[in-house]
Amino acid sequence: MVRPLLSVLIVAAAVAAGPHEHFDLLASFDPPGKAGEDGAIAVTFRALDPDVRLNETPAPHLRLDLTQDVLVDHQVPSPRRIPTYDPLTAKYLDLAEPVRFPVSISPTAPAGPQRVEAEVVFFYCSVREAWCRRGTADIEVEVTVP
């Protein structure tokens, strides 16, 4: 007896985020490697000023659009209180790799290509100018649901 394999087609599409003063962002959906695993929204940050760096703590956070029904968020909740930072002692993320936000496809997601909007919240500092700020950027990714 031959069992048909259930195939899941998920297309990863890169979509650029809107303009940001200190970073260019590129976002894409990375499908899960196997059934039952989480996928991710991968966001690549490119600093427009080599002195501006993305903070490690608090970690960047993704806020999925509340009206979308395609993806389910699997992130660890972000802290309620944001500590103050000293740009001289803050730890920074390596921007050579994208920041990955774990998500999965909702079992109730409509079939076909779907555009998912989200907002990325992050903190960054300038050592040269001795300041730290909170940043946000809107992103979109395309997910094809079988």
How far apart, in whole angstroms, are the C-alpha atoms of residue 117 and residue 115?
7
Establish if 5 belongs to a structural domain.
Answer: no
How many domains in the chain?
1
Q: What is the CATH number of the domain that holds 128?
A: 2.60.40
Positive/negative CA dihedral, 99, 44, 123, 66 = negative
Instruction: Enumerate the β-bridge partners of residue 92.
Output: 55
Q: What's the full length of the chain, in residues?
A: 146
Positive/negative CA dihedral, 69, 27, 24, 122 = positive
Establish if 3 belongs to a structural domain.
Answer: no
Helix, strand, or coil here: 41? Answer: strand
Written as tens digits, the pLDDT of the chain (146 aa) is: 333 332 333 333 334 444 478 999 999 999 888 777 889 999 999 999 999 999 998 889 999 999 999 999 888 776 666 666 677 778 899 999 999 999 999 989 999 999 999 999 999 998 888 888 999 999 999 998 87
pTM over 0.75: yes
Domain range for 133 is 15-145
Establish if 120 belongs to a structural domain.
Answer: yes
Establish if 9 belongs to a structural domain.
Answer: no
